[in-house]
Amino acid sequence: MEKLIDSIKKNEGFVGKPYNDSLGIPTIGYGSKLPLDEDEAELLLKHRLNKKIEELHTHYAFVENLPKEKQSILYEMAYQLGVGGLLKFKKMWRALKSGDFEMASMEMLDSKWAKQTPKRAVDLAKQMRN
C-alpha cells in the first residue's frame, strides 16, 4: 500500500490550496476532488485537531493534567484560533496555572474572540467556570 501511495503522490503532485485540474474540476492536495464529503472533512478535522493538541502541549504541558472537560475547551479554542492565537490569552493562562477556573472564564470573555464569536465564547466560558 505504501508503494501505491508513493506512486500516486509522485504522479499527482501536491497542491495545498484549491485549483482547477486539467478538466476544470476543483481539486486539492494529491488530486482530491472538491467538495469534500462529511467523512473526509471529519478526517481532516481530527488530523488538524491532533496537531493543535500536540502543539499546545509543547507550550503548556500542564494542560494534560487539567480535568478532561477543561482540556476539551482549550483544544476547541486552539482549533478555532490556532495555538498562536490561544497563547495570547496571557491572563487566562495564569488563572489556569493556578487552578482558578472562574478567573479563566472571565478572561476568556474579556477578549476580541468573545466579541467575534459571542455564542461560542459564552458557552465555552460557562463550561470553564463550572
20's enclosing H/E stretch is strand 15-20
pLDDT band with cut points at 50, 70 and 90 for residue 6: very high
Query: Taking the model in full, what pTM does it have?
Result: 0.91
Q: Give the three-class secondary structure for 121.
A: helix
pLDDT value of position 41: 96
User: In the block, which residue shows the cell 493543535?
Assistant: 52
Q: Checking DSSP bridges between strand 32-33 and strand 15-20, what pairing results, if any?
A: unpaired
Tens of pLDDT, residues 76-93: 999 999 999 999 999 999
Cβ atoms 48, 70 nearer than 8 A: no
Tens of pLDDT, residues 37-50: 999 999 999 999 99
DSSP string computed for 47-106: HHHHHHHHHHHHH-GGGGGS-HHHHHHHHHHHHHHHHHHHHT-HHHHHHHHTT-HHHHHH
pLDDT value of position 91: 98
pLDDT value of position 12: 96
Q: Where are the domains of the chain?
A: 2-33, 61-129
